[in-house]
Amino acid sequence: MTPFKVVIPARLGSTRLPRKVLRELGGKPVVRWVWEAALQAGAEEVLIATDAEEVYAACRAFGAEVRMTDARHQSGTDRINEVARAAGWAQDAIVVNVQGDEPLMPPALVRQAAQLLAEDPEAHIATLAHGLHEAADFANPNVVKVVRDRRGYALYFSRAPIPWQREGSAAGAPRLPEGLAFRHIGLYAYRVGALAEFSGLPPAPLEDCEALEQLRALYHGFRIKLGTTDNPPPRGVDTEEDLALLAAQFATRR
């Protein structure tokens, strides 16, 4: 297994669920579950990157390595780039972005993303997806879809139902094209050099249109290798409803 690092961006502010990384599940803050899963993935380093002293103190209390980062960062990617730059990581080192609100992210997927990038020298970024099988998910704009080329590189990400099945689809009722439609999993592996270049780019028009940061990479010609899995992570924590749904499951964990 190629060595890799994990950085977990953990911002305290959140529009839909304020302070979500510190909300409790099974007696632990959400971010602690993410950190513990990342440790199991086999990374050589696992760091939490935050902009809040409260998050810093909470993470240090359970033993995590934490880095304070600039509160002006607009994304977790920029926060990770600051950590990588300050640490002096090599340009070809691999770092995986594991979101701080994904307490059920399987460690195997973290390893898969890192290995996918390590095995493809032409790729700048690697990410994961799984096949869509439910029409409701295909039509849901909160479910990010992705299509790929024959070599496994991402062609486009969208909140819209892509690819559109011309035959059998009606306005507002897209037909699910089995085997072609994939749901994107928000897990990224970067080479440190590509991460720095990406963070220095201005937002792209497509990114602004769909509110999807990965479109900035495609717009500027980055190659994103897309791996697939039949074991997607359960939902993350974005709303009070998400938190309530996960609470019972985590009540039995310690």
Q: Is the pLDDT of residue 254 over 60?
A: no
Q: Is residue 98 part of a domain?
A: yes
Residue 253, pLDDT score: 63
Residue 177 main-chain phi, psi, to 5 deg: -85, 95
* Chain segment 155-195, per-residue pLDDT in tens: 999 999 999 988 878 777 888 998 999 999 999 999 999 99
Q: Is residue 149 part of a domain?
A: no
With pLDDT > 70 as the criterion, what percentage of the chain qualifies?
97
How many domains does the structure of the chain reveal?
1
For the chain, how long is the longest CA-to-CA vector? 57
Q: Is residue 41 part of a domain?
A: yes
Return the bridge partners of 153, or none: 225
* Chain segment 186-223, per-residue pLDDT in tens: 999 999 999 999 999 999 999 999 999 999 999 999 99
Over the range 188-226, which residues count as b (16 or more CB within 10 Å of their CB) and which as e?
Answer: bbbbbebbebbbeeeebebbeebebbbbbbbeeebbbbb
pLDDT band at residue 8, thresholds of 50, 70 and 90? Answer: very high
Residue 130 main-chain phi, psi, to 5 deg: -140, 155
Residue 109 and residue 116 in contact, taking contact as beta carbons nearer than 8 Å = no
* Chain segment 45-96, per-residue pLDDT in tens: 999 999 999 999 999 999 999 999 998 888 889 999 999 999 999 999 999 9
- Could you tell me how many residues make up the chain? 254
Residue 72, pLDDT score: 87
Q: Is residue 242 part of a domain?
A: yes
Q: Is residue 69 part of a domain?
A: yes
Beta-carbon count within 10 A of 32 CB: 24
Parallel/antiparallel/unpaired status of strands 45-50 and 65-68: parallel
Residue 170, pLDDT score: 77
**First CA to last CA distance, the chain:** 29
Locus of tokens 């059920």 = 104
pLDDT band at residue 130, thresholds of 50, 70 and 90? Answer: very high
Q: Is residue 159 part of a domain?
A: no
Look up the CATH number of the domain holding residue 37.
3.90.550.10
Q: Is the pLDDT of residue 252 over 70?
A: no
Q: Is residue 176 part of a domain?
A: no
Q: Is residue 155 part of a domain?
A: no
> What is the span of the domain harbouring residue 37?
5-129+183-247
The predicted model scores a pTM of: 0.92
